[in-house]
Every structure is written in C-alpha cells, then in structure tokens.
C-alpha cells in the first residue's frame, strides 16, 4: 500500500487537460482531417481514382472530393498528389454525413443543430457500446477513454452494461449479418429518446467491408445516426471531442 501511495505522489496528476487548455498531444504519425488543393489535384484525377482502396475519392464538375467517412487514412492519395495533405486537425466528428465530404482546406467543426441531447444529457451521458462485427481497433481506442490519462468520467460520460440504462448507442464495425439482430435489440431496449453514434469508418460507411457478403445494410440505413466519428480507428481525442460537442460542450482547441 505504501509503495502504491509513494508511486502516486511521485507521478503526480496524470490526467490530460483535454480539451480545456490546449490541443491534445498527438503522435508524429497522426493523420487528421484531409486538406484538398483543387488546383494541384487537377492533373492527378486518374491516379487518385485508382489509388484509394476504399473509393473515398470522387470527382464532380471537375472538382475532387474526399469522403472522410470512407477514408482509412492510408495516405496513398497524399503520396501520389501534393494537393492532398492530412494535417493535425483531430476534430473530425460530424452530425451530418455530408459534412464528412472534403473538397477544400477550410474547416470549422459543425455544431449540433438538434439541441435535445445537450438539453437532456449535457452533464451526464450514459453509453452502451456495440461492436457490430469490427476488428476491435475502434473498441480499443474508445476503451482508452476510461483510463487515467483520459478519464472521460470527469465529463459525466460513462459506459453502461445494459442498454436500458443508456442515453446513446455507440456502434463500431460494419453491421454484419450475425450482429444485426443484436444491434436492433440493443437499440429497442434503450429508453427513449436514444441517440446513435457511428464510430470508425466501418460504422460510418462500411469501410473496407462495404462490399462484403457478410455485411448487411449500412448503419445509417438501419438506425438514425446522430454523430459520425470517422477514422480507422479514430484517435481517442477525436472520439471524446465529438461526443462532447454533441453534448454541447464546445468544439475543443484547434490543432495548427
């Protein structure tokens, strides 16, 4: 016991200040929201259309668009074209699917148009997490938020064991045939109103498994999604910031 107390006194306060004082410390290889320079991308259209493994890049009226909801952040497009850059912007979550489409370098994190969650759950949010068939990467990064370094409980955010105690359902992974019924039952068991969070590329769009014969419809075709958190997997700071923004707690400090 004394050794544990001594170690705690020596280590001091270990929980980060996120998101109050400064942007979170991000790893050197962190890839945030994409930035697109249309002029520089003009000559790379054919190359970019072929290089993306999840077909996140499309063209319309001569302009390139990058769907962050499909993107797995492999950065193959950035390697081929200097007009695409993945910066350090970690505030990637959006309340509408179309807000994940990038076609320029300007960005302001969107605020929720529906204030009902902030009104009911602005100070305390209970989450039931459902893995609908993913690889566990998104689940692991979400679980990190329960650790000492992040401690999402200080913001009133907690994971609950039963959907009957949940305010929202956080879904990870593509919706597989084996998990479809369990997902629907979880949603039906939650008290109303209940909100849905799609966490990770697979939950948002199907990701690498979009065309898999073992996957059902996309999550947004089954349940109404209130928050989209892109990434493969999303960084813990991206997940936490998105949830807090949905709760009406701001957009967090900017990473420049």
Instruction: Give dist(CA 181, CA 99) in Å, integer.
Output: 29
Name the average pLDDT for the chain: 89
Token code pair at residue 146: 């329960």
255, pLDDT greater than 70: no
Instruction: Give dist(CA 57, CA 54) in Å, integer.
Output: 8
My answer on whether omega of the bond before 184 falls inside 30° of 0, hence cis, is no
Instruction: Give dist(CA 150, CA 15) in Å, integer.
Output: 6
Q: What's the rounded mean pLDDT across residues 218-222? A: 92
Q: How many domains does the chain have?
A: 1
User: Could you tell me what percent of the chain has a pLDDT over 70?
Assistant: 96
* pLDDT tens profile 39-81: 888 888 778 878 999 999 988 887 889 999 999 999 999 999 8
58 burial (CB, 10 Å; 0-12 / 13-18 / 19+) is middle
Q: How confident is the model at residue 231 (pLDDT cuts 50, 70, 90)?
A: very high
> Residue with structure tokens 């001091």?
12
φ, ψ of residue 145 to 5 degrees: the values are: -65, -15
Instruction: Give dist(CA 95, CA 93) in Å, integer.
Output: 7
Token code pair at residue 246: 């949905």
> Residue with structure tokens 């890839």?
31
| Domain span at 199 | 1-256
Q: What pLDDT score was predicted for residue 43?
A: 82
256, pLDDT greater than 60: no
Q: What pLDDT score was predicted for residue 108?
A: 86
* pLDDT tens profile 96-107: 999 999 988 788
pTM: 0.91
Phi-psi category of residue 202: left, alpha or beta, with phi > 0 → left and psi -120 to 50 → alpha: alpha
Q: Provide the b/e sequence for 100-121 (b: ≥16 CB within 10 Å).
A: bbbeeeebebeebeeeebbeeb
């Amino acid at each position: 016991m004394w050794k544990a107390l001594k170690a705690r006194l020596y280590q001091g306060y270990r929980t980060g200040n996120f998101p109050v004082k400064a942007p979170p410390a991000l790893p050197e290889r962190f890839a945030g929201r994409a930035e697109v320079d249309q002029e520089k991308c003009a000559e790379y259209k054919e190359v970019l259309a072929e290089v993306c493994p999840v077909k996140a890049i499309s063209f319309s009226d001569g302009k390139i668009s990058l769907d962050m909801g499909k993107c797995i952040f492999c950065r193959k497009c950035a390697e081929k074209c200097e007009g695409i850059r993945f910066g350090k912007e970690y505030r990637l979550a959006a309340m509408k699917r179309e807000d994940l489409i990038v076609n320029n370098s300007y960005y302001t994190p969107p605020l929720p148009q529906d204030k009902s969650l902030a009104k009911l759950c602005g100070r305390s949010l209970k989450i039931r997490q459902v893995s609908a068939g993913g690889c566990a990467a998104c689940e692991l990064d979400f679980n990190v938020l329960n650790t000492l370094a992040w401690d999402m409980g200080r913001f009133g955010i907690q994971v609950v064991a039963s959907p009957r105690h949940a305010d929202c359902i956080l879904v990870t992974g593509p919706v597989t045939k084996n998990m479809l019924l369990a997902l629907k039952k979880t949603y039906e068991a939650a008290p109303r109103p209940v909100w849905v969070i799609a966490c990770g590329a697979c939950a948002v769009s199907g990701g690498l498994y979009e065309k898999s014969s073992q996957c059902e419809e996309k999550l947004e075709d089954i349940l109404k999604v209130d928050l989209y958190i892109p990434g493969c997997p999303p960084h813990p700071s991206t997940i936490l910031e998105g949830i807090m923004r949905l709760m009406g707690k701001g957009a967090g400090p900017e990473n420049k």
